[in-house]
Amino acid sequence: MRRELGIFCAVVVMCGFLFWSNHDFGNAGNILNLSRQAAMLGIFAIGSSFVIITGGIDLSVGGIIGLTGVLIAKISSPSIHCLHYPLWMGIGIAMAVALLIGLCQGLLISKLKLPPFIVTLAGMLLWRGLAQIITHGGTLGLGTSPLINLSTEGLFRYGYHSVLAYPVLMFIGVIILAGYLLHATVFGRYVFAIGGNRDAARYSGIPVDRVETLTYVISAGLAGVAGICYASYIGQMTYLVGNGYELNAIAAAVIGGVSLRGGEGSVLGAIIGSIMLELIQNGIILFKWVYHVAGQRKVFTISSNWTYFITGAVILLAVLIDQLASNFNERKRLRRQAQVIAAKQEGGKTAAGAG
């Protein structure tokens, strides 16, 4: 928990710094929009964390997010070129497809021993290509579908905004279920055991293939849930929706302390990492520093062109800290092990001398 606490403190400091630089950061509209964006990212970042903790990787979540939204629009939108079926049918079919994708990818990785990177990279291209085929490279609008109210409506009104928009409520539900599954069940212990030492887990009788497959199903299912939220938020779908989101999920997980080596991480870390990633992007837009030169007022702002550079630097720093922490813990473990061996040898010499 020390790593998560450190990241949380960094988030608090960033919030204070951004509010100091620009009081618009504290506006209700910005805070509520930031919470909605962090919630949608956090939903599929948590799913990706399950996979990463086992030592795998899922690059297909962005494609699944886009395909889910496209399917919902194609099946249920009242717009032209759509099928005009009920919304529940579109959501049900889209979620079933997302779960089936996760199952197929998980089986290819666990049963056929194909590399997760290759399987999910191919999946990313396949599902994005399928979305492009469905949309004919164009756009499918949701029109007057009730789904468009999902991202704006919610509980407790404050002015023109809902304090807890439905994506935030869905995020809270995902946190509760995923937190319980990962940290309070046998399945969760199996996930960490596989990431810590796959061979040892297999020799211990853990159903490695089944657990690993389920993590990809969870990842794809939560990507499907996020796809529903993004379809509502954007209001129209193209095959480009979700492009690069898989990297955001991995970045949020890594920033939150989920180790790419596997065996380490938490739902809380993925939550905080998602908040920090959205906070960085929001801060780049809002940051400003007012200063005076020769009696003239000047304002320094950060260009949006720096977004990828700053985000990449933060991810690299998070990986570096993770590696340094791992090296420190390994040295401490070896030192403790050496002390135990030395103590046993000393005890053996004492016993031999007494004899």
Encode pLDDT of 142-198 as tens digits. Answer: 877 888 888 777 777 766 667 788 889 999 999 999 999 999 999 999 999 999 889
Predicted confidence band of residue 345 (pLDDT cuts 50, 70, 90): confident
**Which of the four pLDDT bands, split at 50, 70 and 90, describes residue 299?**
confident
Res 350: pLDDT: 66
- What is the bridge-based pairing of β-strands 140-141 and 154-158? unpaired
| Structural element, H or E, at residue 141 | strand 140-141
Whether the model pTM is above 0.85: yes
Q: Is the pLDDT of residue 300 over 80?
A: no
With cut-offs at 50, 70 and 90, classify the pLDDT of residue 53: very high
pLDDT value for 178: 95
Q: Lowest-confidence range among 46-60, 78-92, 128-142, 338-352?
A: 338-352
3-state DSSP percent of the chain in helix, strand and coil, to 5: 75, 5, 20
Residues 6 or more apart from 326 whose CB is under 8 A from it?
Answer: 259, 261
Mean pLDDT (the chain, rounded): 87
Q: How does 82-95 read in b/e, with b if 16+ C-beta sit within 10 Å?
A: beeeebeebbebbb
pLDDT confidence bin for 128, thresholds 50/70/90: very high
What is the structure's pLDDT at 285? Answer: 84
